[in-house]
Amino acid sequence: MERKKIWKKAGNVLFIAVLLLLLFNGTAKSWMLQRLMDLGLFQANIKEEPAATAAPAFSYLDANGTIVSTGALKGKVVFINFWATWCPPCKAEMPSLHALYQQFKNDERVVFLFLSEDDALGTAKTYLKAKQLDMPVTARSGNIAREIFSGTLPTTLILDKAGRMVYRHEGVARYDAPAFIEQLRALL
């Protein structure tokens, strides 16, 4: 009977230790979220709303440091992801974002904006290089309407060719699933 109590306490201690690790260690949290994504959780799904309205335009700094407005991107499908290197859910979805970007990077009908919320754009560039993620990183320039970005990381949205917001998601999601890729292709 004593041995059973010891194993029960050891199990409780192990459970609490794992829980604390996931709560306070960003790398562990990212790893766990990636495993849950691998199991099929957090699947992205574009559901075009018939009453979708034009998304408010905002400015961003492109890879060359030039200020560009999203309003200038009409006629293209625009995939926007707000992220930061210190955000475990952002880091968890990065491999799927990279895989999606790799599929569409040569398609001129699609524009990818990976908007870093880090204090310095160099931090984001260094992180992507260290992880061997070949993606363009940009930064916002000025204020952005709350319906676009409320401050929650990660936030992902898609604008159709008319500049209407057809997808908006706060939180982690998997973007390289075949169903999502087909939904994105349908917007082209």
Rounded to an integer, what distance in angstroms lies between the CA atom of residue 96 and that of residue 70? 23
Q: Which two tokens stand for residue 177?
A: 């699933």
One digit per residue, pLDDT tens: the chain, 188 residues? 687 777 767 666 666 766 666 667 778 777 777 777 677 777 787 875 555 678 899 999 887 889 999 999 999 999 999 999 999 999 999 999 999 999 999 999 999 999 999 998 899 999 999 999 999 999 999 899 999 999 999 999 999 999 999 999 999 999 999 999 999 999 99
What is the pTM (predicted TM-score) of this model?
0.83
Domain ranges for the chain, please list them.
Answer: 2-37, 44-187
> Taking Cα atoms as reference points, which of 44, 111, 33, 38 lies closest to residue 71?
111
Specify the pairing of strand 155-159 against strand 165-170. antiparallel
**How does pLDDT run across 153-179, given as a tens digit for each residue?**
999 999 999 999 999 999 999 999 999
Class of the CATH-defined domain 44-187: alpha beta
For residues 111 and 76, is the Cβ–Cβ distance under 8 A?
yes
Q: How far apart are CA 69 and CA 26, in angstroms?
A: 33
